[in-house]
Amino acid sequence: MGSERGHGDAAISEPVIPDPVIPDPVIPDPVIPDPVIAVEGVWKVFGAGKPDRANAMARDGASRHEIQQATGQTVAVRDVTF
C-alpha cells in the first residue's frame, strides 16, 4: 500500500514573529526649583573670644593643632557652600 498522508499529518511550521521593539519612554528633565536657602562661605569657630585670629590662621593654612595652641579655638567648618 502506498503511503498516503492525511490533511492533518503534514508538519506546518509557524512563522516566527519577533517581539516588538518598544522604545524607551522619553523622560523629561526634572524641573529643579530655585533654592529656598543658599549658604555660601560659612565658617564656624568654637571657643571663647572673637574668631578673627583663628579664621585668619585657617585661611593662611595653619593646622587645627596650631590654631588651637595659639587661640584656644577650633575651626570646625571652613568656607562651606551648599
Task: With CA atoms as reference, report the closest residue to 45 among 70, 22, 24.
Answer: 70
pLDDT one-digit tens code per residue, 15-57: 888 788 887 788 887 888 887 888 999 999 999 999 999 999 9
Q: How far apart are CA 55 and CA 75, in angstroms?
A: 7
pTM attached to this predicted model: 0.53
Asked if residue 54 lies in contact with residue 75, where contact means CB atoms within 8 angstroms, the answer is yes
Percent helix, strand and coil across the chain, each to the nearest 5: 25, 15, 60
Sign for the pseudo-dihedral over CA of 45, 51, 53, 56: positive
